[in-house]
Amino acid sequence: MKKTLSKKRYLIVCIVSIFLGACSKSDSTPTEDDTPDVNSTETINITGTIQYERVPFSTSTYGLDYDNIITLPVRGAVVEALDGAGDVVATSTTSDEGTYSVTVPQDSAVQISVKAQTLSDATAKWDIEIRDNTNDGGLYLLQGSLSSSDTSADSIRNLTATTGWDGSSYSGTRASAPFAILDTAYDVVMKIVAVDSNVNMDDVDIFWSKDNSTASGELSDGEIGTSFYSGDQLYILGKEDVDTDEFDDHVIIHELGHYFEDNLSRSDSIGGAHSLDNILDMRVALGEGFGNAFSGMVSDDPIYSDTSGAQQGLGFILDVDDNSNTNPGWYSEGSVQAILYDIYDADEDEGDTVALGFAGIYQAMTSSDYINQTSMTSIFSLIDEVKTLNPTSETAIDTLVEGQTFDTNYGIDPITDKFGTDETHNAEVESNLDVYKSISADALPVKLCSHADSQEYNGLGTRQFLRLDITTAGSYIITADFVATGNDILEANSDPDFVLYLNGEVAGGINGGTSGNGGSLEVGSETSTVSLEEDEYILEVYDYSNVDDDESEVNGTACFNVTVTNS
């Protein structure tokens, strides 16, 4: 966990206040009147309410509705009373109503400072901070003025973070933005704590700036490309008239869903471009589908909305509870989100009699068996664990899953295990099945084909999976050789690669056209020698041209004979 601030504040913070609207150093010099009487034993209480303005989503225009701005409490935020030197003299945390109370020395000048931070070191632990990636990572603050407490009476000091909207543009400090993001993050925390009062969450920094745009480049310049999660950090869009996400709570919750998977559960997703219609790598379909469903679970609102454009007046919505998906199946984020949300909610749609609540999803995703599974994360492995933990709901879950079937090519069969055994829907590409093929260390070849029929990099079938059961520890040679079968890719353009996983962690491999682990680089062939323990591994095999995300290079179908031999 991050430590709380010492008596000295950060050297650089970003102050978002109705009094001060610029970033400044915290080196103010106290005057004689500002210095508290250190010998005084008299104290007074300062209380108040901390609020922020939120711009709601318009269901008619699909943009932000600035005509109906609402004021909400800042919940769970760290409050500090600072003296004239910037030293902390008292701390508090806002309640769910946004109220706080601090006790400070009488006859002193203090300033109320609210951090864009929610923190708990109690049984449930978390630390979430909203920072400015374009200002040295400074923590956002909302601050009142330095004011004297030179009477014996208690006082009330309220603060409100405003939007800075003047009716047509952001002409003022966008003070409410970081606190809107913090409030959404607090919703996520409370959803988790409600089902796990002993949860210990990794610290997470959420970076937002009014300069965070859809341009890709330097994060410190705000060129973040899109709102995203990576390694206990979120980056959130904020560029006016381009794309702002501070009030798009479903977007923020979606990204915190990736944080949840990464820290409390497990995610094997390789990321990349995705949409509801895409036929995706099963790991990506689970991650993105869960993120969308999670946004509905936390907000108890299945309508996912995202705004953008001039005056933030454009946007779109999607219903995560909608079971009529294009290209439905085990490779569809649309199917995944609908299945998971139906397991969560209590509404009985057609074919949906499951109502396990968030606890049913949470317990499966945080179970030791799920986190340490041999298989890769997918809708197969998650539903298998949900069924295992809820045996009385198995039949109802099977019916729910089958509801995502369109025809013999597109859909999903009742899930029997984590590996998708007996799945029959191949999205019109025969080589997409079996979901996992089996291979033994007996030098006998197993043929598989990498293709880009769905899309490059993370489409279904670009990467093929093999189950490798090692019964004797030792050194093994893994080889993938091109097979000339009239495919789209010629041997001269083929570059087979593979990665070996043990319980989701990379155990060895060669990828990206580079050699390693004793391997060699050859056109149409790849070989690697690896030391393996007695265990079951997953071998991922692909042609590099199908995963390099370079549209200028030739890609297509490339088939290989894969062998594993004890050396």
DSSP for 343-370, written as a single string? HH-----TT-----HHHHHHHHHTSHHH
Q: Is the pLDDT of residue 549 over 90?
A: no
- Copy the structure tokens of residue 138: 């400074």
Measured between alpha carbons, how far is 487 from 113 in angstroms, rounded to an integer? Answer: 66
Measured between alpha carbons, how far is 122 from 136 in angstroms, rounded to an integer? Answer: 30
Q: What are the phi and psi torsion angles at 138 (to 5°)? A: -60, 140
Q: Is the pLDDT of residue 30 over 80?
A: no
Q: State the average pLDDT over residues 2-21.
A: 38
Positive/negative CA dihedral, 280, 282, 288, 293 = positive
Q: State the average pLDDT over residues 296-322.
A: 97
Count, residues in the chain: 567
**What is the structure's pLDDT at 469?**
97
Measured between alpha carbons, how far is 61 from 350 in angstroms, rounded to an integer? Answer: 30
Pairing mode of beta strands 233-236, 238-239 = unpaired
Q: DSSP 3-state assignment of 536?
A: strand
Residue 417: Cβ within 10 Å count: 12
**DSSP count for the chain of H helices, then E strands:** 8, 30
pLDDT in tens, 348-367: 888 899 999 999 999 999 99
Measured between alpha carbons, how far is 102 from 105 in angstroms, rounded to an integer? Answer: 10
SS (H, E, C) 278-342: CCECHHHHHHHHHHHHHHHHHHCCCEEEEEECHHHCEEEEEECCCCCCCCCCCCCHHHHHHHHHH
Measured between alpha carbons, how far is 198 from 235 in angstroms, rounded to an integer? Answer: 27
| Predicted confidence band of residue 268 (pLDDT cuts 50, 70, 90) | very high
| Predicted confidence band of residue 513 (pLDDT cuts 50, 70, 90) | very low
**What is the structure's pLDDT at 551?**
66
Q: Which of 379, 395, 398, 271 is nearest to 334 (CA)?
A: 379
What predicted TM-score, i.e. pTM, was given to this entire model?
Answer: 0.91
Measured between alpha carbons, how far is 401 from 144 in angstroms, rounded to an integer? Answer: 54
User: Range with the lowest mean pLDDT among 59-68, 217-226, 432-441, 509-518?
Assistant: 509-518
| Predicted confidence band of residue 254 (pLDDT cuts 50, 70, 90) | very high
Q: Is the pLDDT of residue 492 over 90?
A: no
- Copy the structure tokens of residue 41: 């034993």
Pairing mode of beta strands 204-208, 233-236 = parallel
Q: Which residue has the higher pLDDT, 108 or 236?
A: 236
Residue with tokens 């009529």: 324
pLDDT in tens, 65-91: 999 999 999 999 999 999 999 999 999
**How confident is the prediction for the chain on average, in pLDDT?**
90
